[in-house]
Amino acid sequence: MALPRIALIMVPGTLASRAGARSELIRYSFERSGLQRMTGHEILEAVPELAGIAQIEVDPGNEHAVATPTDLARTALHLNEVLSRPDIAGAIIIHGTNALEETAFFMHMTLKSPKPLVITGAQRPFTAMSSDGVINLVDAVRVATSPDAHGKGVLVVANNEIHSGRDVTKTSTYRLHTFKSRDSGPLGFADADGVVLYRAPLRRHTTESAFTLRPATILPRVDVLYVHAGASGDLAEAAVNLGARGLAIAGSGAGSTGDMRATLARLAREHGVVVARSSRVGEGRVALDDNWQEPGFVAADNLNPQKTALLLALALSQTTSPTTIQQLLDTH
């Protein structure tokens, strides 16, 4: 039987980067090393084991940009086209780890295919001794070709673990175990003897998601504001004056907006700005009807601030109703 065909999408990141020495783990950007990142074809040549797992098709549009919501939407539309091809069984994204979770979440919300999209990256460049890039990539391809990955939404594979794109977050600057799903744990594992999945995401995603991107879709501006000792409402005021239609608050504790509260409540009341309360602490839910709720505020459940901002932008492209947006937050 022919091996499944997997599309390989690349965005800038560590996995494909090269340093001038095997011992160099932190200075590997082109500006520091003078070495260009590897292409998809170069990676496939350097890891011939991949050819025994799948037929890998390098996307001619590599490297794709994912720095802004507009970039993410463009990449998502492209992936929808790729995954709609009957000869494609799934796709892999090689991604920088810094913003990997945001791309994973956005694709989890907007792709319209049950075929697996698996995202992976590396904490060490391809040229480093004990680089994690090769095994992460091999594991990602193994997961993408597993029948059990079908219909599970976007998956993130790293350090032999399989995580949902909704739940995963980066937790460490340099350690290899950086990706965690803090509240829920991994979906399964890419073990040496096989890919094992133990559970599936229950929130709406991909084919069941309420969000459908079109080329004309405009994602409104949403800014993230961080609550800390000394934070005031001035930044919220400035963000709205610069065009923000939504504000994702990295609240203290269980979503407190601190001294921003009065300003945020006024902006919601007078300007129709939707304020989504998340938390900066990293674990746990933010509840709707609690000590810090105001009219026009919504609660982000256990989504972190950066994912809250993306979902709020998607929601605002369809509605400005806080009630409807809360329903979307509660179900995705």
Choice among 14, 97, 120, 169 that is catalytic: 14
Active site residue 212: no
Closest-CA residue to 105 (of 63, 149, 154): 154
Give residue 32's identity as a one-letter amino acid code.
R
Give how far Cα 331 sits from Cα of 111, 202, 266, Å. 16, 9, 28
Structure tokens at 61: 């549009």
Torsion on CA atoms 156, 117, 109, 285, rounded to nearest 10: -20
| Whole-angstrom distance, CA of residue 238 vs CA of residue 203 | 34
Q: Are 162 and 104 in contact (CB under 8 A)?
A: no
What's the token pair of residue 190? 């890419």
How many alpha carbons fall within 13 Å on the CB side of residue 70? 4
Give every strand in the sheet of 222-226, ordered side by side. 222-226, 246-251, 274-279, 297-299
- The answer to whether 9 and 94 have CB atoms below 8 angstroms apart is yes
How far apart, in whole angstroms, are the C-alpha atoms of residue 259 and residue 291?
A: 14
DSSP, res 64: P
Residues labelled as active-site residues: 14
